[in-house]
Amino acid sequence: MAVSVRMNPLLEMELDLAAKRQGITKSQFIIGAVERALGRRDPAALYQEVMEDIAEHRIAEAAPASEPRPLKAAFRAKLQSKYESEQADWLAYQQAKQRGEPWPPKGEGQAA
> Which pLDDT does position 57 carry in this prediction?
66
> Which pLDDT does position 40 carry in this prediction?
79
Alpha-carbon distance of 7 to 26, in angstroms, equals 13
Alpha-carbon distance of 70 to 75, in angstroms, equals 9
Task: Report domain extents, the chain.
Answer: 9-56, 62-112
pLDDT in tens, 24-45: 999 999 988 888 888 777 777 7
Q: Is the pLDDT of residue 6 over 50?
A: yes
Q: Is the pLDDT of residue 112 over 50?
A: no
Alpha-carbon distance of 79 to 94, in angstroms, equals 23
Alpha-carbon distance of 38 to 65, in angstroms, equals 44
> Which pLDDT does position 27 carry in this prediction?
92
